[in-house]
Amino acid sequence: MARISVFGIGYVGVVSAAVLAKDGHDVIAVDVDPGKIDAINSGKSPIVEEGIDELVRDMVAAGRLRATIDFAEAIHATDLSFVCVGTPSAPDGSVGLNYVTSVCETIGRALADKDAWHSVVIRSTIVPGSTEAACIPMLEQMSGKVAGRDFGVGYYPEFLRESTAIADSYDPGLVVFGFMDEKTGEALYDLNRDMPCEIHKVDIRTAEMVKYTSNTWRAVKVTYANEIGNIAKSCGIDGQTVMEILCSDKKAALSSYFMRPGFAFGGSCLPKDVRALRHLATQNGVQPHLLNAVLDANEAQIARAEALIEKSGATKVGFVGISFKPGTDDLRESPLISLAARLIGKGIEVDIYDPFVKEAFDSGTPGAGRGNESVPDLEHRLVGDLDKLINDAGAVLVGNYYNETVDKLKAAATSRPVVDLTRLHREMVSKDRYEGICW
């Protein structure tokens, strides 16, 4: 069992400390508030939460949980520290790091005269880069030691919901942590090895970003549900019934398929339906704030891809894919059509490799080219030979994913700019001639 100190006896700190003690670890809760210290040591919880009073009482009685105001004593008596202090918004809306850096300053001073290995793990919600830019420098400055060599550092976000926090501790939907040294990574894995979900071991910045992504995604879902509810009510419909039915669809509505960063959405349904519902809302006196933002953001993603091509300096671009998604010749509201038209309008030559669209033209399909209203001479821009497309292009734009193109496109990225809107391979990230739109 581990010896753990938890800095910050607030909501997250109390629950974390009590649960860790229940798991058999020796835990010291640390805070600057004597009232909280006294409460813990007398077997009382300083917060209100389902089941926490009994858990704190039992763990204190068992001798596995105590509290102190002495930071140095806590550091020297433990091997792993969790920083669980608050990060309220600064006046400009940025994350407030004063409490976190203050704790790191005190921990750093205590580490200065500790010879044994110690890992400092941040659990407070901080934006990506904060551990590296604020916490580690403070720890190193005050300790006179080097992070990753003389002491460990990690970031381990919590996803506890108030009123169900103890249950969430044992049945989390997500476990993720980042670390800069293997000892800290192993310690965090050991604490989570029996969790009934996948354990994600990543770099520190990714772990920080996952926490913010989780919280803001919840906010978006609440906002979306409210907006749909407002629109539904304006039509005499029960919005809660609508959302309950939507959430019963695990195949599409709640699918992870649409949660993959990449290019803009298009096709015969999504753009027109967002516009139609937005129009209905406005007509009924409801402001569709989120639907407006959806269309604005989709347009901005097309502009983002356009800027990446312009940045390459290429005067001739080979498009891999032009339909709104692979496996179809449907061009209706394809964002790739829109992108190609913009580039052509700026004098950039565009050739296109799209086996499904070309097949439609070659076979004389009556609907060949359906949905194209803005790319001139589309049929004559289609190239059946991928090698020729690559060799003739100053830059290659990957709009759709086709299995048979991956190896050749990966090789192309070594000789010319490749702008990837779909991701050829999971390990590829923006570097040298290769530019991923979101990675």
Catalytic residue set = 269
13 by DSSP, 3-state: which? helix
Q: Is 319 annotated as a binding residue?
A: no
Q: Is 325 annotated as a binding residue?
A: yes
Q: Is 266 annotated as a binding residue?
A: yes
For residue 193, give both structure tokens: 């090895």
Instruction: Tell me: is residue 332 an annotated ligand-binding position.
Output: yes
Q: Judge whether 358 is annotated as a binding position.
A: no
Asked if 398 and 409 count as a contact pair (C-beta separation under 8 A), the reply is yes
Q: How many CB atoms lie within 10 A of CB 191?
A: 21
386 is in an annotated binding site: no
Q: Is 433 annotated as a binding residue?
A: no
- Determine the Cα–Cα distance for residues 439 and 435; give it in Å rounded to an integer: 8
Task: Consult the annotation and say whether 31 binds a ligand.
Answer: yes
**Is 36 annotated as contributing to ligand binding?**
yes
Phi/psi for 376 (5° steps) reads -70, 145
Is 211 one of the annotated binding-site residues?
yes
Query: Which residue type does 220 have?
Result: V
Calculate the CA dihedral of residues 270, 274, 277, 282 and round it to 10 degrees.
Answer: -170
C-alpha closest to that of 197 among 158, 229, 171:
171
Contacting residues for 355 by C-beta, under 8 A, at least 6 apart? 384, 402
The answer on whether 223 is annotated among ligand-binding residues is no
The one-letter code for the residue type at 146 is V
Q: How many CB atoms lie within 10 A of CB 400?
A: 25
In whole angstroms, what is the distance from residue 343 CA to residue 321 CA?
Answer: 15
Question: Is 87 labelled as part of a ligand binding site?
Answer: yes
Tell me if 335 is assigned to a ligand binding site.
no
What is the sign, positive or negative, of the torsion defined by CA atoms of 386, 388, 390, 396?
A: negative
Q: Where are the beta strands (DSSP E) in 102-185?
A: 119-122, 152-155, 175-179
On whether 272 is known to bind a ligand per the annotation, the reply is yes
Q: Which two tokens stand for residue 127?
A: 């934006």
Binding residues: 31, 36, 87, 125, 159-162, 211, 258-262, 266, 272, 325, 332
Binding residues for substrate: 159-162, 211, 258-262, 266, 325
Binding residues for NAD(+): 31, 36, 87, 125, 162, 272, 332
